[in-house]
Amino acid sequence: MTDATCLPSAEVLIDRLPMDGAFNMALDEALLELAAEREYSVVRIYRWSEPTVSLGCFQARTSPVPHRFQSLPTVRRLSGGGAILHDQELTYSVVLPARHAARHNPSGLYAAIHRALIVLLGDCGAAAALRADHDLRQAALREAASAAPPEPATEPFLCFLRGDPNDVVHVSGTKIIGSAQRRRRGVILQHGSILLRTSALATDLPGIQDLVPNFLLAEFTDRLPVAVAAAVADQWTVREANSTELQRAEDIRVRSA
C-alpha cells in the first residue's frame, strides 16, 4: 500500500470463541475509540455465535427486513454498506491510527487488503479477483461478442447481492468478500465479511467452499490473520483482547442497550 518503513506496527486479536453480535460490534467500536489514543494498528479476526443480521451505519432504519430474517438478532455496524447475514463466514476488522499513511487514501485500503486476500485465496485453491478487474475482463468479452451489458437491478437488502468495484469475487463473478469503512478524525475502521459457505437462511448466496469444494479452509483460516496484518503493517504481534478493550466494549454495550 505504501512504503513499509512508514507503516505503524499492528497487534492482531484472534477471538478464540464465536461471540454474539452485540459483543462483536461493541468490541470493534471500542477499538475504534481507543485508536485515537494509540500509535499502532489493530487487526481482529472473529466469528459469530448465532446467525445475525448487521445493518450498515447509513442504512435506513426504516428499511424493511425480509421475513426470513425477522426472527434473527439484528445489530448496527459502524461501517457502511448494506445488510449482512453473518452466519457461515469469517469476519475481519482493521483499525488504523491517525498516523497511518492510509488516512491520505482511505479507499486504497480496500485494494491493499483485498489483493492480499486474493493471493491467499489463490494459494488455498480459490481463484479470485477484484470486481473492478473482473468486470473489465467481462466487458471486453461482451464487446468482442457484441453483447449488451446486463440491465442494472434495484438495490437489494443484503450487501452480498450488491456489487462494488472493491468486492472480491470468485472467477465466476460471485461475490465472496465484501468490506466497508468508517472514518473518524483520521482513524479508519474497515470491516470485511468472508463468505465461506451457503447459509440455510440465504441459499442464493454461495460461499467459497460451495464454489470450490476442495478449498483449503484450514490453511486459509490459519494464514488469514497474518495476510491481513501484512497488508497494513511491517511487523505485528498476536494477542487476545486486553482488559482495557473488554471494559470499553462492555461500557459501549451497556450504553447501547
The residues annotated as belonging to the active site are 159
> What number of other Cβ atoms are within 10 A of residue 198's Cβ?
17
3-class DSSP state of 168: strand
> What number of other Cβ atoms are within 10 A of residue 84's Cβ?
23
Q: What's the Rg (C-alpha) of the chain?
A: 18
CA dist., res. 222 & res. 183, Å (int): 29
Q: Which residues have a Cβ under 8 Å from the Cβ of 178 and sit 6 or more positions away?
A: 81, 84, 159, 160, 164, 167, 168, 192, 193
**Alpha-carbon torsion (213, 215, 218, 220), positive or negative:** negative
CA dist., res. 106 & res. 190, Å (int): 10
C-alpha 52 chain-centroid distance: 15
Q: Which residues have a Cβ under 8 Å from the Cβ of 38 and sit 6 or more positions away?
A: 97
| β-pair type (128-130, 168-170) | antiparallel
**Across the chain, where does the E strand assignment appear?**
10-14, 41-46, 52-55, 74-76, 84-86, 89-96, 128-130, 168-170, 175-184, 187-195, 236-239
The DSSP bridge partners found for residue 184 are: 187
